[in-house]
Structure formats: structure tokens, C-alpha cells
Chains A and B, each alone.
Chain A
Amino acid sequence: MAAIIETKELTHLYSAGTPFEHTALHAVDFSADPGEYVAVIGRTGSGKSTLIQHLNGLLRPTSGQVLFEGTDIWESRERTRQVRCQVGLVFQYPEYQLFEETVYQDIAFGPKNMGLDKDEIDRRVKQSARFVGLEPGVLEKSPFDLSGGQKRRVAIAGVIAMEPQVLVLDEPTAGLDPSGSARILDNIRTYHQEKNACIILVSHSMEEVAREAERLVVIHKGTIPFSGPPAEVFTHGDELEAMGLGVPAMTRVFARLRSMGVDVPASVYTIPQAREAVLAALHRGSGERKQTASDEKGAV
């Protein structure tokens, strides 16, 4: 499948020519397919925010290219503007960008800038409000009267209302409680499934990305050392630890079990997988230990 968005040899320097000059990205090749759910993980300062700001043309590459549907997004001014509507970017703490008098108007800001007619804007506002689980009554309220989690969902709806083919989210769950985070991740998953959109989720929580994404892209010091399905990436547990990233707790447990000589797979990262792996291991061992196992069961 042809990638919907990709970067070729993307390099970005900040403050070029001053003592503060530093390379944020170094010859990065990143790509995502239509309808794919990709997670980008990396520490603070690894270059992940710089990377995603290139994807919709907010930052201009120092060298290299950013391609959307195969053509350079910097080809012309028109093209850049058009790509900004196709690649939706939700910043970290997006609730700080709310400004309108009502939630409705704020969500409508993006579609209005796209030059859509009134009925289409209305449809999109209502639909995206539904995607993020906002009750219709909220639409007429001032965004500044809402709770933190609600504000964030309004901000995300503001980007979803542009119906981007690629939705990029920079740490959408930062600073929310577990139930708030879960709701936001649910909303994103719904959008992913219903619109068949490509999702690029930036995070530093391994547990979170392991559960949500089909593919992980690890970014470290401006390069991409690993990329692949979670199970594959997590086999590099030690290297990830060295980068200060760590692996999900479940993977650590299984790595430890393996080092103790227990025959379990290395690529376990969720609790259901863990249950199956443990059951399988017990089942294999049951030949010689059938008696003990049933004793234990009896005791329980």
C-alpha cells in the first residue's frame, strides 16, 4: 500500500547560526499508511514534537522532504494550506487554544476556515461533538465553563471537524485521570474505525501505545532506531530501557520469567496476552506437574 504521509531524509535544525543551534531531527524516514494506527514514542526532547509539526507543514524542513499522498507538501503555498486541512494536528494541552464564545463556534472554526457552507459546517460540528462524546447541551456553553477533560474533548473535536485523513495527536491524555484518558483514547479509536483515518499518536506511555497502536515508531535523539508492531519493538527491552523509555510492566515480568528459565514468549505486553501465555506454559508443563496443579486448584 502506498504511504499516505511520509518523510524522506528529514533533517531539522533549531536556531541555526546561534549558540543555541541544535539538530532536532537527523535524516528521518517516517511513513504511515492510510487507515493505520501508528504510535510515536520517545522521551521529552527526542524530537517527536518536531517530527509531527513537519507532517502538516507547520515547520519547514532544513533539508529533506515531507510527502502527502506522494507529493511534496512545500510544492506551493496552496498545497501547504490544503495539506493542513488533510492532516489534523492536535497539540499537547489543546484546551489552551480555545477562544470562541461557545463550544459550537470553536469547533466550527476549522471547517469555517476551509470555506465550507453553513449546513456542512453544522453537520460536521454535530458529528465531531458526537465522536468525542459531548452532549448536545454543551455546544451552547462557553468553553471556559467546562471541566479540563471536557475542554480537551472540545479541542480535539475542533480538529476532527475538519475530517482529516491523517489525525496526529501529541500526548492527548497528558494530565488527565485514568478514566478521562480512557475516554479520549476511546474517542480516537472510534474516529479511526468509522472514518478509516490514519492515526498518529504521540505518547511516552508504553502501556498506552501498546494497547492502542498497530505499529510503534521509537524516536531517540532525532533518529528512529526501532519501528514495527509492538510485540517486535518490545523485544528490544534493554535498548529501550537504555533510552529511558522502558517497556510495559507485563513485558518486564515476562522477560524476568524467561531469564529464570521459564519457557514463555518474549513479546507479551497486555494482560489478556499474559493470561494466555501463562495458561499455555502451565499446560505444557502439566505433563509432569498435573498432580501438583490439580492439588493447587483444589486448595483454591
Chain B
Amino acid sequence: MALRDITLGQYFPGRSPIHNLDPRAKLVGMICYIVALFLGSWFVTYAILLAVLIAVVAVSTVKPKALLRGLKPVVFILVFTAVLNIFYTPGEPLVTFWIFTITREGIIHAFFMVVRIIMLITCTFLLTYTTSPLALTDGLEHLMGPLKKIHVPVHELSMMMSIALRFIPTLIEETDKIMSAQRARGADFDSGNLIQKAKALIPLLVPLFISAFRRADELATAMECRCYHGGEGRTRMKQLHYRPGDILFMLGALILAVGIGVLGHFGF
């Protein structure tokens, strides 16, 4: 069953220095890195960014195989962008046939675009692989804290996010279980045409929805029983504190972004 092996936004527990960073530092670092990715313009800047990424992956002890697996769903987008860039960038023509022209600039552009997307996805995956969903939402809530001043329901949003994240694995497991149970009764989810396949999903979706509603109900009761009343005056069990390492990491990321920006500006 492949459902169990979905890695989207999955956390791989570990004890590397990257795992131990403050989630806020990692979020800021990631944002700086993504900005840098879009400021870079030529081989030098991308080589630096790639080297940084490889170094961070090496320190994080996340297996490169796991990261590459995360790229599988976006292969289509990658190919699509590459093809678009190859054919639609004006410049010095290399090959011309029928109505298509491939330009030198097009190939280079496509190459950078693909590299940029791969690095972007890898770095976001690295964040979710090394940060537990709970720490991540905690970090987000802190970083978005200032928005409370303009009445953005930051706490509610992050609570919703952490509940949603918390229930993804549960629902996947549940889907897996119901699917097995219906298969045991001879249900067939894989063969037939589109309409038959859609119909075959009814025995899966009905119980899944019922159980999701039941769970939501139970969770609401459990939260009320523990006097949950929103974010007002709520304290935390795990306080987030910046350590020197976190500050250094964020400074490094900031310097990287500025540096790449300057280099990119001069066309490296």
C-alpha cells in the first residue's frame, strides 16, 4: 500500500544541529534562502547556493534519497517549465524547425529555472523533514505575532493548522484501514473506467467522512473539557528561546541573501 509511504510534509525525527535549531530561525533562514534563489542570476551565484544547500543537507543527516523522493510529484511541473522556457525565450537561435526556435538563452534560462525550482522544493522539504509540525506552527505563530495588532486571528489560524497537520497521518491511516476492510469484502479500487472508479470510492468516502466528523466532535469535546477558550492569556509548555546558534544561523542566511543579491546585481 503506497498510501502509507507518502512523505509530503513528513517529519523525520533526529538530533542533528539542524533539527535542534529554533523553528523561527529555520523559517527565517528558509525565507532568506528562497529570496536569494530569485536574486541569483548566473553560475557563480547558483553554485554558492547549491553548495550551501548541500552543506545544510549533510549536517541535517536527512537522507538525500528521501529528499529526491519529495521531488517526484513535481517532475511534471519541472518538465513543463523547462519546455516553456526553451521555446519562448527570445535570443540567438540555435535550432529552428517548423514554427519552433530553440535559442541559446532559452536553454540557459530553462536550466536555471529547473535548478531554482529543485532547490526551492528541496529546501522547503528540508524544513518539514527536520521540524516537527508542532514546532513549525509554534514558530509561525510567533513570527506572525505582530499581525495580531491589526486583528488577524493568528492564534486561531495556527491552532487550525496544527490540528490539520495532526490529523493528516490519522486520516491517511484511517483511509488505509477502510480501504483494506472494503477490499476484504471484494471491493476493487483499481480497475474499471473513470465512472466505475468514482463509484468504487463511495464505500471508502462515506465511512471516512463519518469518522472524520466523529473525530472532530470528540476533539472539540476534549478541548472544551480542558477549558480551551482561544488564545487570550494562554501560556505555553514549551517556550521558544533564541540561542546564539539560532541568531548566527539567521544572520548567516541574511548575509547569504544580501550577498547573492549584490552578486546577482552585477551579473555573476
Task: List chain A positions with a Cβ less than 8 A from chain B.
Answer: 14-15, 17-19, 53, 56, 58-59, 81, 84-85, 88-89, 91, 94, 96-99, 109-110, 113-114, 144, 158-159, 162
Task: Kindly count the residue-residue contacts between A and B in the assembled complex, taking CB atoms under 8 Å apart.
Answer: 62
The 8 closest A-B pairs by CB, nearest first: A113-B186, A99-B206, A110-B185, A89-B184, A97-B181, A91-B181, A58-B180, A99-B203
Query: Can you identify 16 A-B contacts, CB atoms within 8 angstroms?
Result: A15-B5, A18-B12, A19-B12, A58-B180, A81-B186, A81-B188, A85-B186, A88-B184, A89-B184, A91-B180, A91-B181, A109-B203, A144-B210, A159-B184, A159-B185, A162-B186
B197 to chain A, nearest CB (A): 15
Q: Is B47 part of the binding interface, using a Cβ–Cβ cutoff of 8 Å?
A: no
* Given A91-B177, A113-B187, A113-B188, A97-B65 contact (CB < 8 Å): no
Q: Is the CB of B180 within 8 A of A53?
A: yes
Q: Which B62-104 residues have a C-beta within 8 angstroms of A?
A: 65-66
A152 to chain B, nearest CB (A): 13
> What residues of A have a CB within 8 angstroms of the CB of B14 in the complex?
19
> What residues of B have a CB within 8 angstroms of the CB of A109 in the complex?
182, 185-187, 203
Q: Is the CB of A97 within 8 A of B5?
A: no
A96 to B186, alpha carbons, bound, how many Å? 17
> What residues of B have a CB within 8 angstroms of the CB of A18 in the complex?
5, 12, 66
* Given A99-B206, A109-B203, A113-B188, A15-B4 contact (CB < 8 Å): yes
> What residues of B have a CB within 8 angstroms of the CB of A144 in the complex?
210
What is the size category of the interface that chain B forms with chain A?
20 to 34
Q: Is B183 part of the binding interface, using a Cβ–Cβ cutoff of 8 Å?
A: yes
> What residues of A have a CB within 8 angstroms of the CB of B1 in the complex?
59
A7 to B210, alpha carbons, bound, how many Å? 36
> What residues of B have a CB within 8 angstroms of the CB of A91 in the complex?
177, 180-181, 184
A110 to B188, alpha carbons, bound, how many Å? 11
Q: Is the CB of A98 within 8 A of B207?
A: yes
Question: Most A CB atoms within 10 A — which of B1, B177, B178, B185?
Answer: B185
> What residues of A have a CB within 8 angstroms of the CB of B4 in the complex?
14-15
Q: Is B211 part of the binding interface, using a Cβ–Cβ cutoff of 8 Å?
A: yes
A66 to B202, alpha carbons, bound, how many Å? 30
Q: Is the CB of A19 within 8 A of B186?
A: no
B136 to chain A, nearest CB (A): 18
Q: Is the CB of A114 within 8 A of B186?
A: yes
Residue of A nearest to B182 (CB): A97
Residue of B nearest to A111 (CB): B186
A227 to B38, alpha carbons, bound, how many Å? 65
> What residues of B have a CB within 8 angstroms of the CB of A110 in the complex?
185-186
Residue of A nearest to B174 (CB): A96
A254 to chain B, nearest CB (A): 40
A15 to B7, alpha carbons, bound, how many Å? 11
A110 to chain B, nearest CB (A): 4
Residue of A nearest to B183 (CB): A58
Q: Is the CB of B207 within 8 A of A58?
A: no
> What residues of B have a CB within 8 angstroms of the CB of A19 in the complex?
12-14
Residue of B nearest to A158 (CB): B185
A99 to B182, alpha carbons, bound, how many Å? 10
> What residues of B have a CB within 8 angstroms of the CB of A14 in the complex?
4
A159 to B66, alpha carbons, bound, how many Å? 39
> What residues of A have a CB within 8 angstroms of the CB of B210 in the complex?
96, 144
A142 to chain B, nearest CB (A): 12
A125 to B188, alpha carbons, bound, how many Å? 21
* Given A15-B5, A17-B65, A58-B183, A97-B178 contact (CB < 8 Å): yes
A110 to B185, alpha carbons, bound, how many Å? 5
> What residues of A have a CB within 8 angstroms of the CB of B5 in the complex?
15, 18
Residue of B nearest to A82 (CB): B186
Residue of B nearest to A112 (CB): B186
> What residues of B have a CB within 8 angstroms of the CB of A159 in the complex?
184-185
A113 to B202, alpha carbons, bound, how many Å? 14
> What residues of A have a CB within 8 angstroms of the CB of B185 in the complex?
109-110, 113, 158-159, 162
Residue of A nearest to B204 (CB): A99
